[in-house]
Amino acid sequence: MSAGALPGFRDFYPEQFAERAWLFEVWRRVARRFGFVEYDGPPLESLELYTKKSGDEIVGQLYNFKDKGDRDVALRPEMTPTVARMVAAKANALRKPVKWFSIPQLFRYERQQKGRLREHFQLNVDIFGEADVSADAELLAVACEIMRECGLGPDDVRARVSDRRLLTALLRALEIPASSDAAVFAAIDKIERIPRGHPLWESAWTGIPATTVDRLLGLVESSDLDAMAREFAHVPDVAGVVDRMLRYRSLVEAHGVGEYLKLDLKIVRGLAYYTGIVFELFDAKGQMRAICGGGRYDNLLEALGGVDMPALGFGMGDVVLSDLLRERGKAPATPARLACWVAPKDDRAYVRAVNVAAELRRRGLATDYPLRTQSLSKQVKVAADAGAGRVVFVGDIGDVEVKTLADGSQTTMSLERLYDSLENDGNSDSTGATDHP
């Protein structure tokens, strides 16, 4: 039996756990700043929840099995069907718009590669009950503000946005039959991975004149909204969607994240339930897998819960984002573990030192001391490695000496003064560490 974790699964040693905890804090902080509230659902769901609407790609990656009650079940590969089911079940009772977020661990039996594992954590941010494009803009703003909070600007990350309705309207305007939609969408989705001329690519265009294909691909490639507005002003279906996109763009700019935005009709999204504006965040060099993906899925609540309610959301995984942060040197420094180290000067001082440490802990300071007597120089080294700001040297009676590790200064004081001064330090309930480099 192998001693390691299963392929595609991760062990989080404290250093990696600290990185993950830092990212979760950023996610929670920004989501809450936008007025979203946190929820969770079960990690195991009925298989049917995914086979109904998620699409073949994700269904092919399910970790599914029969439970002991002979039910077909699956570990959740995504959060959207769960949250759609939860919201649909209480649709009448919930005040709209519903703005929820969650950080589930998800499981997909993928081919393991850079940026793709068999488990990952994914921030899900979703809005229910608002059909207006204002909600789409709000959603993109959350994703971009998270990038900003991580120290990633528009030079590092781009938000590529499309609208499935725009692509559909263009197909109709170019007289491409609706029966080709699925194949054409799939081909455009793979445009960057499968070169033109590949048999898979060519089969999507059967029966469509080459000049039409070229025209469509030209529009997709340029993704120029203003040019489309001019060219298709006389085609109401296209003009309507273009107008909505123009309003979306001005709202995204109003949110102060317009610089991240790039209209790109090549973004189709693999999941089957999207109905409107869809988007993905990528590293600006385009070298990594998507950091984040989402969009509008107005029909999913109807399909899963019989409730007619517009919905939209995104999922942002921890794997690609952490890789990117590491690559750009923006990964958080390992946080300090301690505020204080209490150093008994000798065996006779040991019990008193334990008592001092206990008092400091009760006052909310992360404090440690040696579990067996050690030399003072060793203790100072251990304290520094743990990031402790101060070492308190304790004898068996009398005052204590407090050494500040940053500058090496040392002060003698009574225990009462020590407790007061540390409490007034603003260090309570923390290690005193900052959370970002």
- 126 is a contact residue toward ligand HAM (CB under 6 A): yes
Contact 354, 399 (CB under 8 A): no
What x-and-dash track marks residues 95-114 binding ligand HAM by CB under 6 A? -------------x-x----
Contact 264, 163 (CB under 8 A): no
CA dihedral of 66, 69, 70, 73, whole degrees rounded to 10: -40
Going by C-alpha positions, the residue among 162, 141, 158, 175 that lies closest to residue 242 is 162
- Residue from 19, 78, 138, 145 touching ligand HAM (CB under 6 A): that is 78
CB of 161 to ligand HAM, least distance (A): 14
3-state SS assignment for residue 51: helix
Of 78-86, 203-211, 356-364, 410-418: span binding ligand HAM (CB under 6 A): 78-86
Pull the structure tokens for residue 344. Answer: 């008994």
Cβ proximity to ligand HAM: between 278 and 360 the closer is 278
Within a 10 A sphere around the Cβ of 33, how many other Cβ atoms? 11
Cβ proximity to ligand HAM: between 294 and 310 the closer is 294
Of 77-85, 165-173, 191-199, 206-214: span binding ligand HAM (CB under 6 A): 77-85
**How far is it, in rounded angstroms, from Cα 105 to Cα 147?**
21
Pull the structure tokens for residue 212. Answer: 């039409």
Cβ proximity to ligand HAM: between 301 and 383 the closer is 301
What x-and-dash track marks residues 320-359 binding ligand HAM by CB under 6 A? x---------------------------------------
- Residue from 124, 367, 379, 427 touching ligand HAM (CB under 6 A): that is 124
**DSSP letter at 76?**
-
Cβ proximity to ligand HAM: between 189 and 259 the closer is 189
Look up residue 257 and give its amino acid: V
Report the run of H or E that residue 133 belongs to, with start and end: helix 133-149
- Residue from 103, 142, 188, 319 touching ligand HAM (CB under 6 A): that is 319
- 162 is a contact residue toward ligand HAM (CB under 6 A): no
**How far is it, in rounded angstroms, from Cα 203 to Cα 314?**
31
* Non-local CB neighbours of 200 within 8 Å, separated by 6+ positions: 187, 190, 194
* Non-local CB neighbours of 7 within 8 Å, separated by 6+ positions: 112, 118
Question: Which parts of 223-269 fold into alpha helices (H)?
Answer: 225-231, 236-254
CB of 375 to ligand HAM, least distance (A): 47
Going by C-alpha positions, the residue among 406, 372, 377, 407 that lies closest to residue 393 is 377
CB of 291 to ligand HAM, least distance (A): 5
**How far is it, in rounded angstroms, from Cα 120 to Cα 107?**
7
CB of 168 to ligand HAM, least distance (A): 19
**How far is it, in rounded angstroms, from Cα 380 to Cα 390?**
9
CA 115 to chain centre: 13
Report the run of H or E that residue 314 belongs to, with start and end: strand 311-317
CB of 263 to ligand HAM, least distance (A): 19
Cβ proximity to ligand HAM: between 290 and 388 the closer is 290
Cβ proximity to ligand HAM: between 216 and 324 the closer is 324
- 168 is a contact residue toward ligand HAM (CB under 6 A): no
Look up residue 409 and give its amino acid: S
# residues contacting ligand HAM (CB under 6 A) = 23
CB of 290 to ligand HAM, least distance (A): 4
Q: Which residue has the tokens 């890789």?
A: 323
- Residue from 97, 129, 276, 313 touching ligand HAM (CB under 6 A): that is 313
Cβ proximity to ligand HAM: between 223 and 322 the closer is 322
CB of 300 to ligand HAM, least distance (A): 9
Cβ proximity to ligand HAM: between 26 and 271 the closer is 271
- 188 is a contact residue toward ligand HAM (CB under 6 A): no
Of 72-80, 327-335, 408-416, 424-432: span binding ligand HAM (CB under 6 A): 72-80
- Residue from 104, 129, 294, 310 touching ligand HAM (CB under 6 A): that is 294
Cβ proximity to ligand HAM: between 94 and 225 the closer is 94
Q: Which residue has the tokens 């009772």?
A: 93
| DSSP secondary structure, 215-231, as one string | HHHHHHHH--HHHHHHH
- The alpha carbons of the chain give a radius of gyration, in whole angstroms, of 28
CB of 296 to ligand HAM, least distance (A): 8
Pull the structure tokens for residue 311. Answer: 């919905």
- 122 is a contact residue toward ligand HAM (CB under 6 A): yes
CB of 74 to ligand HAM, least distance (A): 14
Q: What number of helices (H) and strands (E) belong to the chain?
A: 16, 17
Residues forming contacts to ligand HAM in the complex (CB under 6 A) are 78-80, 108, 110, 116-117, 120, 122, 124, 126, 271, 290-294, 313-315, 317, 319-320
